[in-house]
């Protein structure tokens, strides 16, 4: 038998471990996480297929049908202007998700690279960037949003974009900080040193090697941020900034409905429960993701 | 690239690497960690020089300086005749495909998010004069896999799917990608099981036999392994070389008292030999490079020390046949 | 077929039990992981005499550390000791409750352990005095004052300079070598009969390693105790151990005196190990002969010999019969193999 020099390595390939199987197992371990995922999927379906699912046009006024209680014709009743609450709820999902995803995207695109650059270069770069982030974090989110909203109105930007920009700016430091911390620990690994020894450019190291390894905590952060952002959007709409009427937004619906606290409780209960449920869902799914990706992050995120 | 006609591929002269210790808000320098404190040696093309010593001796730092991962505080590093010790980073890049590094820890030296094939081929992508087309690249990666004894069909797998020994092979393949003339091996086998260590040692030896002009700087603390694989060995203590000689001579005729103690401390897997060995047990512990003793850094623990040993630093002098020792008593 | 190698070297049961300090019979420890059951220790039997130094040698995953932790009943979920006996001073230790008072009175007092990592084995928030005296007060019922005196004395014995000053220091104020000395002092503080040193010097420099091993040997002689050195370093056991057990995949594959094992190794794994490690005193062009293949996966092990895939001496019988039991060669030399490797000394190259 001719013995090839590589005989040794050929026979000893370890069994291909299924990362997916392990991930799925840990993720679905808790019923709560599965429940959260179901809620999110439902919300996604509602948002995407809103025109098909909503029984009525959410903007259609029904002067003769104001403030009706839930009935077979209007499952959740109607509001002050005669609009069907259920339809507005479904379209509200669209608004909420849009705000959530776009804000997360924008703040991520800005905050994550800032964090990587600060963590990688250290020194003055790090100081400048992180202190800027600290400064931004000093402002309470809602206050910042109010100020930005006022400023943006000067430039005739209003409505949903005010909310999105305000929220994005407020959340950028969160991404920068987490990324910065993760970058610091990834930087210590030998494979980063190997890159330098090979002659990799800084860009290559940061974006081809550090960033991909920083994803697990970032994905968890993003998921949890989505919940927080939707809540914030609701808060802003409630305060009157943000989605202008007649836009359907859950926060605005609660604002409208709380005047009818006792008489038409569905008006504020429906959107309120929707908000609570969705935020809860995002949080539990975020937890599940964190545990499945890296349980060592418990306590950190 | 035609190989230069010089005999020495690497010529290190008076290398010093001090790391400042700073205090306070303004980061004032209060002291220096003298990791490397005046190191001089040469490596001939095609040979293996072993660099051995205990923790704090500076051997890893020497390796990193040679790779210009640090900028030396003082001294010269001549690689292929060119002094790289004070070149700016932009100029260093072009030699980085000619000196490679193999790491100790097979678990943290590979990016867990990169496939094995991508890891091995990355140097080719960075120094893109090496391959032209996609198929050339794939061929080269495949060739590298075979060279180190790995199945090329595993190129799309991720590091965690390989064993420690296999990951080390991936590291070796990566180091070989751009056909370097010098490879710095920084403790390449100490994290592996004993039975796997031999596989990697043999692989390194086989590669050197097969690739003309491939030179190794082999850094390790395991004296038996270093002696086995090296042509010459340099023993370091607290940032300085105390003895350099051929491996055989190191064991048969060690001159420096630290070398003698080090050799005596390494147990040999043979009770019949062990029975007859002389044991030199040193007193005290290895001092930190933050505050080295004056004069010869070994004198406080030396069983041959005399008063003059604390007065001045003994230089490395040749005692014949390329055997160099830094000791006043020899 | 006696299960404990060497035990029938004694003429009567009485003599046997007088000399044997510890006898482990058919110890089995398993770990339940998500991928399956890991048989970390799969039927290990050995003994320790009074005042001797034995070596337990093997690579990572062979079960050497787990076996010692099992003897001390320091195994916790997902691990479980599922079989065997550990006879010490006439009693089976495994019959004691893991956290019960009887087992606790053995640990530290009669059987002590020194661990690998000096950095993490000591409690960082307690002084050395507190950690040393805790044991003395607990097991030997000493008063605080007497315990402190004894602690200072012990620190001096293990070579810590100005012990009376350093006794109130914290672990982080000591170097790695010093910490390991403190661990040695702690281990010996209550005059144990057996000291188990689990890879005690792997994390240390070579010269420090030499100092500490010499110290351990001296201490154990002084205290008239026995020492178990668990290690993967064959050189260390060649220097210090009187008898050696070679472990592979959870079992002992060869046992004997140090001179037996190194002079006439019989198990293919032992032979392989000796051929693949570099030696300071070897010839210039000696070639290392690696053991081909990988260490075994301890989950779903086949019933045949675990070393089979890597063995260059194998015969047809090896794949047909179960894992070979230990058989006696002569004196105290036992091997678990179907092949007479001595006769085949020159043949494996041809395979």
- Does the CB of B127 have a partner CB in chain A at under 8 Å? yes
Say whether B101 and A197 touch across the interface (CB within 8 A): yes
Is B2 part of any domain?
no
Q: Is residue C7 part of a domain?
A: no
Give pLDDT tens digits for C92-130: 999 888 888 888 888 888 999 998 877 788 888 889 889
Report chain B's C-alpha Rg in angstroms.
21
Tell me the chain C residues in contact with residue A7 when contact means C-beta distances shorter than 8 Å: 292
Q: Is residue C117 part of a domain?
A: no
Q: Examine the domain organization and report whether B153 and B286 are in the same domain.
A: no
B281 closest CB neighbour out of C177, C211, C236: C211
pLDDT given for residue C15 in this prediction: 45
Tokens standing for C109? 């007092």
pLDDT band at A301 (very low <50, low <70, confident <90, very high): low
Q: Which of C294, C297, C308, C348 to mutate to test the interface with A (most CBs of A within 10 A)?
A: C294
- Interface contacts A/C by beta carbons within 8 Å: 12
CATH code of the domain covering residue B259: 3.40.50.300
Distance from CA of B313 to the nearest CA of A (A): 33
pLDDT at residue B64 greater than cutoff 50: yes
Looking at residue B16, its pLDDT comes to: 94
Instruction: Report chain C residues whose CB lies below 8 A from the CB of A5.
Output: none
The distance in angstroms from the start CA to the end CA of chain B is: 44
CB-CB under 8 Å, B111 with A10: no
- Please say if the pLDDT value at position A90 is more than 50: yes
Same domain, B200 and B278: yes
pLDDT at B247: 92
Mean pLDDT of chain C: 86
- The DSSP string of C49-112 is ETT-EEEEE--TTSSHHHHHHHHTT---TTEEEEEEEEEETTEEGGGS-TTSHHHHHHBTTTEE
Beta-carbon pairs below 8 A across chains A and B:
77
β-bridge pairing B324-325 and B317-318: antiparallel
Nearest CA in chain A to C292: A8
Q: What is the pLDDT of residue C347?
A: 46
Residues B289 and B190 grouped into a single domain: yes
Judged by DSSP in three states, C129 sits in: helix
- Indicate the residue of B199, B265, B271 with minimum beta-carbon distance to C210: B265
Q: State whether B271 and C287 contact (CB < 8 Å).
A: no
How close is the nearest chain B Cα to the Cα of C345, in Å? Answer: 19
Q: For residue C332, give both structure tokens.
A: 């105290």
pLDDT tens digit string along C324-341?
999 999 899 999 999 887
B160 part of contact set with chain A, CB < 8 Å: yes
For chain B, list the contacting chains (3+ Cβ pairs, <8 Å): A, C
b/e burial code for range B270-291 (CB count within 10 A of at least 16 → b): bbebbeebeebebeebbbebee
Task: Please state, in angstroms and rounded to a whole number, the distance separating the CA atoms of residues B122 and A189.
Answer: 17
| Structural domains for chain A | 26-54+84-298 (1.10.3720.10)
Residue A8 has pLDDT above 50, yes or no: no
CB contact under 8 A, C273 and B201: no
C193 within a domain of the structure (yes/no): no
Task: List the domain range (segments joined by +) for residue B172.
Answer: 106-179
Token duo for residue C328: 């006696």
**Residue B133, SS3 per DSSP:** coil
Mean pLDDT taken over chain B: 89
- Enumerate residues 6+ apart whose C-beta is below 8 A from C246: C57, C58, C252, C253, C254, C255, C261, C267, C269, C270, C273
Helix or strand run (H / E) with residue A246: none
**A-chain residues near B123 (CB < 8 A):** 198-199
Beta strands at C226-231 and C53-57: parallel, antiparallel or unpaired: parallel
Looking at the domain assignment, is residue C123 inside a domain? no
Residues B131 and B84 in one domain: no
In a domain, B330, yes or no: no
For helices A141-154 and A211-239, give the axis angle rounded to 10 degrees: 70
Mean pLDDT of A130-134: 93
B254: helix, coil or strand?
coil
> Which percentage of chain B shows pLDDT scores above 70?
96
Supply A106's token pair: 């924008």
Q: How far is C351 from chain A (nearest CA, A)?
A: 8
Residue that is last in its domain, among B132, B157, B179: B179
Bridge partners of C49, per DSSP, are C20
Token pair, residue C93, equals 């230790």
- Interface test mutation site (partner A, options B66, B92, B113, max chain A beta carbons within 10 A): B113
Cβ within 8 Å, pair B101-A14: no
**Residue B128, beta-bridge partner list:** none
Q: Evaluate whether residue B291 is within a structural domain.
A: yes
Find the mean pLDDT for residues C249-270: 94
**Tokens representing residue C56 in the block:** 């337990």
Tell me the chain B residues in contact with residue C239 when contact means C-beta distances shorter than 8 Å.
267-268, 271, 274
Cβ-in-10-Å burial (0-12, 13-18, 19+) of C15 comes to exposed
The answer as to whether C127 is a domain residue is no
Find chain C residues with C-beta within 8 A of A11's C-beta: 293, 309
Q: How far apart are CA B92 and CA B79, in angstroms?
A: 11
Query: For position A53, what pLDDT does the model report?
Result: 80
Give me the mean pLDDT over the A86-95 stretch: 86
Higher model confidence: residue A207 or residue C295? A207
Chain B contacts of A189, Cβ < 8 Å?
A: 108-109
Q: Which of B179, B203, B236 is the last residue of a domain?
A: B179
CA distance C273 to chain B (A): 6
Sheet order of strands, B82-83 included: B28-44, B8-23, B74-79, B82-83
Provide the pLDDT for residue C268.
94
Q: What is the pLDDT of residues C148-185, one digit of tens each?
A: 999 999 998 888 888 888 889 998 888 888 888 898 99
For C279-325, how does the pLDDT look when each residue is reduced to its tens digit (9 = 90+)?
998 888 889 998 888 888 888 888 899 999 999 888 888 889 998 99
Q: Are residues B113 and B211 in the same domain?
A: no
Q: C325 in contact with B at a CB cutoff of 8 Å?
A: no
Closest CB from A12, A22, A25 relative to C294: A12
Last residue of one domain, picked from the residues B179, B198, B213: B179
Please report all neighbours of C, defined by 3+ CB atom pairs within 8 A.
A, B
**Structural contact between residues C207 and B282, judged by C-beta atoms closer than 8 angstroms:** yes
Give yes or no: residues B83 and B137 share one domain.
no
Of residues B55, B165, B268, nearest to C238 (C-beta): B268
The Cα A90–Cα B48 span in angstroms is: 73
Q: What is the structure's pLDDT at C174?
A: 87
C308: in domain = yes
Question: Any idea which residue has 């974009």 for tokens?
Answer: A161
| In a domain? residue B110 | yes
b/e burial code for range A155-193 (CB count within 10 A of at least 16 → b): eeeeebebbbbbbbbbbbbbbbbbbbebbbebbebbbbb
8 Å CB contact of C293 and A11: yes
Structural domain count, chain C: 1
> If you write DSSP's letter for every residue of A138-154 in order, what string do you get?
HS-HHHHHHHHHHHHHH
Residue of C nearest to B283 (CA): C211
Least confident of A37-51, A137-151, B306-320: A137-151
Whether C112 and C200 have beta carbons less than 8 Å apart is answered as no
Which among C202, C201, C199, C193 has a CA at the least distance from the CA of C224? C193
Statement to judge: residues B242 and B119 lie in one domain: no
**Domain co-membership, B83 together with B189:** yes
Closest CA to C210 of C220, C200, C219: C200
From chain C, the residues in CB contact with A22 under 8 A are 34
Report the distance separating Cα A240 and Cα B319, nearest Å.
89
Has residue C85 got a pLDDT over 90? yes
Interface test with A, best of C36, C293, C298 (most A CBs within 10 A): C293
| Cβ under 8 Å to A: C residues 34-53 | 34
Q: List, for residues B160-212, the tens digit of each pLDDT value.
A: 888 888 999 999 999 999 999 999 999 998 888 888 899 999 999 999 999 98
- Inter-chain residue contact C238 with B282, CB threshold 8 Å: no
Q: Strand C327-330 and strand B324-325: pairing?
A: unpaired
What pLDDT was estimated at residue A6? 34
CA separation, residue C334 to residues A283, C5, C240, C264, C331 (Å): 61, 7, 20, 11, 8
Closest residue to A16, CB basis, from B67, B93, B161: B161
Q: Would B22 be classed as within a structural domain?
A: yes
**What are the CA-CA distances from residue A95 to residues A32, A237, B2 (Å)?**
25, 11, 66
- B160 contact residues in C (CB cutoff 8 A): none
- Tell me, yes or no, whether C296 lies in a domain: yes
Candidates B201, B261, B285; nearest CB to C288:
B201
Does C9 score more than 50 pLDDT?
no
- Judge whether B3 lies within some domain: no
Contact across the interface for B195 and C234, Cβ inside 8 Å: no
Closest Cβ–Cβ partner in C34, C292, C297 for A8: C292
**Cis? peptide before A219, omega within 30° of 0:** no
pLDDT at C7: 43
Indicate the number of domains in chain B: 2
CA dihedral C254, C260, C261, C264 (to 10 degrees): -100
Contact check, Cβ <8 Å, A12/B163: yes
DSSP states along A116-172: HHHHHH-HHHHHHHHHHHHHHHHS-HHHHHHHHHHHHHHTT--THHHHHHHHHHHHH
Give the contacts of B109 (CB within 8 A, at least 6 positions apart). Answer: A189, A190, A191, A194, B103, B167, B171
Q: Give A86's DSSP letter.
A: H
- Are B140 and B272 contained in the same domain? no
Contact C280 B225 (CB under 8 A): no
DSSP C292: P
SS3 B264: helix
C293 touching A (Cβ < 8 Å)? yes
- Closest partner residue to A8 among C34, C293, C297, by Cβ? C293
Measured in degrees and rounded to the nearest 5, phi and psi for residue C204 equal: -115, 165
In a domain, B309, yes or no: yes
Q: Give dist(CA B214, CA C299) in Å, integer.
A: 42
Question: Range with the lowest mean pLDDT among A77-91, A233-247, C201-215?
Answer: A233-247
Q: Looking at residue C249, which CATH number applies to its domain? A: 3.40.50.300
**Percent of chain C clearing pLDDT 90 (strictly above):** 42
Would an 8 Å CB–CB cutoff place C162 in contact with chain B?
no
C252: closest CA of chain B, how far (Å)? 17
Partner residue opposite A191 with nearest CB, options B109, B160, B206: B109
Q: How far is B120 from chain A (nearest CA, A)?
A: 11
Flag whether residue B96 sits within 8 Å of chain A, measured between CB atoms. Answer: yes
Whether B160 maps to a domain, the answer reads yes
For C244, the domain range is 20-96+226-344
Determine the pLDDT at residue B191. Answer: 83
Q: Closest Cα partner for B16 from B314, B239, B166?
A: B239
Residue C150 lies in a domain: no
**Calpha distance C140→C133 (Å, rounded):** 10
How far apart CA C195 and CA B272 sit, in angstroms, is: 26
The pLDDT score that the predictor gives to residue A55 is 80
User: Looking at the structure, do residues B186 and B175 belong to the same domain, yes or no?
Assistant: no
A119-133, A191-205, B3-17, B43-57: range with lowest mean pLDDT: B3-17
**Digit-coded pLDDT (tens) for C39-73:** 999 999 999 999 999 999 999 889 999 999 999 99
The verdict on A196 touching B (C-beta cutoff 8 Å) is yes
């Amino acid at each position: 038998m001719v013995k090839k020099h590589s005989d040794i390595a050929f026979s000893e390939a370890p069994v291909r471990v299924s990362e997916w199987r392990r991930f799925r197992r840990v993720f679905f371990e808790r019923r709560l996480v599965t429940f959260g995922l179901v809620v999110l999927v439902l919300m996604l379906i509602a948002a995407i297929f809103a025109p098909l699912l909503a029984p009525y046009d959410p903007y259609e006024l029904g002067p003769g049908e104001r403030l009706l209680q839930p009935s077979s014709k209007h499952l959740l009743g109607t509001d002050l202007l005669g609009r069907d609450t259920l339809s507005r709820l479904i379209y509200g999902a669209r608004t909420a998700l849009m705000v959530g995803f776009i804000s997360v995207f924008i703040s991520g695109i800005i905050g994550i690279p800032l964090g990587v650059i600060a963590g990688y270069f250290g020194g003055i770069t790090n100081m400048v960037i992180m202190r800027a982030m600290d400064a931004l974090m000093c402002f309470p989110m809602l206050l910042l949003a109010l100020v930005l909203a006022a400023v943006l109105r000067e430039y005739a930007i209003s409505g949903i974009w005010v909310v999105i920009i305000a929220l994005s700016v407020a959340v950028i430091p969160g991404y920068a900080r987490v990324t910065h911390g993760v970058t610091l620990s990834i930087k210590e690994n030998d494979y980063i040193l190997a890159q330098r020894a090979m002659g990799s450019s800084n860009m290559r190291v940061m974006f081809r090697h550090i960033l991909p390894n920083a994803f697990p905590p970032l994905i968890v952060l993003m998921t949890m941020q989505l919940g927080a952002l939707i809540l914030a959007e609701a808060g802003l709409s409630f305060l009157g900034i943000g989605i202008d009427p007649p836009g359907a937004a859950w926060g605005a619906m609660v604002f409208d409905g709380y005047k009818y606290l006792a008489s038409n409780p569905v008006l504020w209960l429906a959107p309120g429960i929707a908000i609570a449920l969705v935020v809860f869902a995002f949080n539990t799914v975020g937890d599940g993701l964190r545990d499945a990706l890296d349980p060592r992050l418990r306590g950190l995120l | 690239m035609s190989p230069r006609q010089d005999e020495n591929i690497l010529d290190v002269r008076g290398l010093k690497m001090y790391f400042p210790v700073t205090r306070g808000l303004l980061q004032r320098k209060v002291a220096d960690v003298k990791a490397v404190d005046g190191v001089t040696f040469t490596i001939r093309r095609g040979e293996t020089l072993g660099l051995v010593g205990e923790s704090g001796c500076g051997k890893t730092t020497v390796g990193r300086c040679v790779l210009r991962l640090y900028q030396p505080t003082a001294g010269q590093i001549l690689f292929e005749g060119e002094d790289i010790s004070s070149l700016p980073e932009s100029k260093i890049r072009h030699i980085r495909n000619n000196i490679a590094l193999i790491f100790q820890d097979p678990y943290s030296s590979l990016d867990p998010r990169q496939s094995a094939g991508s890891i091995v081929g990355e140097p080719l992508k960075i120094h893109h004069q090496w391959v032209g087309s996609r198929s050339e690249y794939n061929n080269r990666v495949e060739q590298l896999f075979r060279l180190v004894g790995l199945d090329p069909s595993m190129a799309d797998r991720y590091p965690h799917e390989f064993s420690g020994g296999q990951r080390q092979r991936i590291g070796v393949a990566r180091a070989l990608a751009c056909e370097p003339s010098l490879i710095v091996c920084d403790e390449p086998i100490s994290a592996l099981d004993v039975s796997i260590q031999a596989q990697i040692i043999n692989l390194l030896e086989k590669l050197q036999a097969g690739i003309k002009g491939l030179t190794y700087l082999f850094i390790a603390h395991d004296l038996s392994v270093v002696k086995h694989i090296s042509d010459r060995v340099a023993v370091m203590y607290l940032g300085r070389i105390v003895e350099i000689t051929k491996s055989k001579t190191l064991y048969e005729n060690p001159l420096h008292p630290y070398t003698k103690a080090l050799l005596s401390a390494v147990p040999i897997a043979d009770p019949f030999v062990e029975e007859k060995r002389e044991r030199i047990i040193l007193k005290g512990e290895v001092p930190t490079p933050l505050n080295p003793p004056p004069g010869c850094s070994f004198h406080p623990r030396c069983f041959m020390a005399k008063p003059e040993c604390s007065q001045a630093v003994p230089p490395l002098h040749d005692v014949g046949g390329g055997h160099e020792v830094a000791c006043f008593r020899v | 077929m006696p299960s404990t190698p060497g035990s029938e070297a004694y003429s009567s049961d009485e003599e046997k039990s007088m000399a044997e300090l510890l006898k482990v019979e058919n110890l089995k420890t398993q770990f339940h992981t998500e991928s399956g059951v890991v048989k970390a220790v799969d039927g290990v039997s050995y003994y320790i005499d009074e005042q001797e130094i034995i070596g337990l040698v093997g690579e990572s995953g062979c079960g050497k550390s787990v076996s010692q932790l099992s003897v001390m009943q320091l195994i916790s979920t997902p691990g479980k000791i599922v079989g065997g006996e550990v006879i010490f001073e006439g009693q089976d230790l495994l019959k004691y409750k893991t956290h019960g008072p009887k087992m606790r009175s053995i640990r530290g007092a009669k059987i002590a352990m020194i661990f690998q990592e000096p950095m993490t084995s000591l409690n960082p928030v307690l002084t050395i005095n507190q950690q040393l005296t805790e044991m003395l007060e607990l097991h030997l019922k000493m008063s605080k004052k007497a315990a402190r005196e004894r602690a200072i004395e012990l620190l001096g014995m293990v070579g810590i300079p100005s012990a009376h000053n350093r006794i109130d220091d914290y672990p982080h104020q000591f170097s790695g070598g010093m910490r390991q000395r403190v661990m040695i002092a702690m281990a010996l503080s209550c005059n144990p009969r057996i000291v188990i040193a689990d890879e005690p010097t792997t994390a240390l420099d070579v010269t420090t390693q030499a100092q500490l091993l010499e110290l351990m040997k001296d201490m154990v002689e002084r205290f008239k105790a026995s020492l178990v050195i668990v290690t993967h370093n064959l050189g260390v056991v060649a220097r210090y151990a009187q008898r050696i057990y070679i472990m592979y995949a959870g079992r002992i594959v060869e046992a004997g005196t140090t001179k037996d094992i190194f002079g006439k190794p019989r198990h293919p794994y032992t032979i392989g190990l000796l051929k693949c490690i570099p030696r300071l005193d070897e010839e210039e062009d000696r070639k290392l002969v690696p053991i081909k293949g990988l260490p075994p996966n301890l989950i779903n092990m086949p019933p045949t010999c675990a070393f089979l895939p890597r063995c260059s001496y194998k015969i047809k019988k090896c794949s047909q019969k179960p894992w070979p039991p230990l058989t006696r060669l002569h004196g105290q030399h036992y091997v678990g193999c179907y092949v007479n490797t001595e006769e085949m000394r020159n043949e494996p190259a041809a395979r």
